[in-house]
Structure 1
């Protein structure tokens, strides 16, 4: 009986986590090579645990997400007066900051200036345990109206910050805004936007005909303003896939 109890204690005392295995290895004078492997195992284990914590936090956040409403009316007069409403970036941030923080989540952005004036904004959603996920969108500077170059860049950065944050959190604005008249969104994209898509496709080695078929158009120039974000997201997804291969 005592032997069985001793055996049971021995089994239960065996290391069950990488950190316990490392402590056990140190106590037994394990060689450097073994320690390096155990440390790498510990890093992978911690990354896996952090990802689990992130997923659990996002699930809890999505179970009771905040409501975000359009809070600003904007008018455009380009031969035809148009008024639309949208949720401003500060309104979106105010609604999400507290809700995310209550689950140990936070967000920030990285902004890059790419070739041909393309601006890329990446929203980084991070959990307190260390796991992060990134959502990126890119576009040309918004030269509408009488904006100077700095204002055009600032307008695009703000726009991309708002939509990458909404995309990263999976939140839709109540009565989803389109930041413009539907007629505007149905117009073809600009030559600069065509060039940015072409550059992205060339960079990823994508088949243009296949991409156009995916977008249900005959050529890149036929993609509309309403489909530009989807096109950019598709190219970015292909870029990420190629980078992880």
Structure 2
């Protein structure tokens, strides 16, 4: 036969007559396929390793789905507007004013967006009477993966709150903080909850006929020199602020401070 005209035929697997052909391994398309393949061998140890591998693969897939969903949700999550104004007399006897975002507003804003991407949130609470309150925010994905962030704080007993009211106030605050931290949310205003930064509030205007700013500063400095409480002084003059003292009562107010015993 002419070598140039010779046709090349495809190779075929050659086996000896009667010899068992090697079994083709089943195609593996999912973690369950791995378990099924291991189960078909009858090897218990291999089956256990296959189950462990299946769980690891499923956990990895769940983490990946969680990360992708959270990344997609971040695109839709807005800046949270600080919609609540708080004002109270602090321990130094001064007026504290600040804006903060309300927990209900944060929840109403994020829940529809989280649900759209298969995410949800919840909180776990821990703490005993007299101990700090601990709140854990749990962000979960429908494929099973979840991540947690915890924060603790003492019960808020300011403004005459009862112990249970103090726990409720602190719980609400921690729920808001942990949820926003877990989702990487930011809020819009130029303060930081009145806990370190100063907000640009409109200057307070005392009632007509009140003492001058210089007189208010003098009274405040005298109170400080006596080591007295500004709150006690305001209670004595029956005013919420030193600036509210009528000019006609300035001398009497100074006499009250003079009678304070130096602390």
Which range, TM-score by smaller chain?
0.5 to 0.7
Following superposition, the deviation at residue 80 of structure 1 comes to: 2.1
Q: Select which of 8, 14, 38 maps to 2:50.
A: 38
Stretches of structure 2 that go unaligned for 5 or more consecutive residues are: 1-9, 14-23, 199-263
User: Whole-Å Cα distance in 2 between the matches of residues 102 and 3 of structure 1?
Assistant: 55
Report which of the two structures shows the higher radius of gyration computed on alpha carbons: 2
Q: Give 1:75's match in structure 2, choosing from 83, 87, 107.
A: 87
Moved over 3 A (4+): 1-4, 181-184
The 1-side partners of 2:197 and 2:190 are apart by: 16
Tell me which residue corresponds to 2:101.
Answer: 87
Change (3 A) 1:58 1:176: farther
Give the distance between the partners of 2:110 and 2:76, measured in 1 at CA.
Answer: 12
Distance 1:119 1:2, change over 3 A: farther
Contact 1:121 1:136 in 2 (8 A): yes
Residue 228 (structure 1) aligns with: none
1:88–1:35 CA distance, 2 compared to 1 (3 A): same
TM-superposed CA distance for 1:179, in Å, is 2.6
More displaced, 16-25 or 92-101? 16-25
What is the TM-score normalised by the length of structure 2?
0.62
Q: Say if 1:87 and 1:177, in contact at 8 Å, map to a contact too.
A: no
- Mapped pair 1:158 → 2:172: yes
Give the Å deviation of 1:31: 2.2
Match of 2:27 among 14, 23, 31: 14
Q: State yes or no: 1:167 paired with 2:166.
A: no
> For the structure 1 residues 177 and 105, does the alpha-carbon distance in structure 2 shift closer, same or farther, using more than 3 Å as the test?
farther
Give the RMSD, CA atoms, in angstroms: 2.3
1:125 matched to which residue of 2?
139
TM-score by length of 1: 0.66
Equivalences for 1:49-64 in 2 at 5 Å? 49-64=61-76
Shift of 1:165: 0.3
CA contact (8 A) 1:120 1:139 kept: yes
User: Within 2, Cα distance between the matches of 1:178 and 1:125?
Assistant: 24
Residue 24 of structure 1 aligns with which residue?
Answer: 37
When you count helix as a share of all residues, which structure comes out higher? 1
Report the secondary structure of 2:150's partner residue.
strand
Matched with 2:230 is none
Partner of 1:59, secondary structure, is helix
Preserved contact between residue 31 and residue 58 of structure 2 (Cα < 8 Å): no
Q: Distance in 2 between matches of 1:182 and 1:29?
A: 66
Matched positions, count: 177
Q: Secondary structure at the match of 1:82?
A: strand
* Separation of aligned partners in 2, 1:81 and 1:173: 23
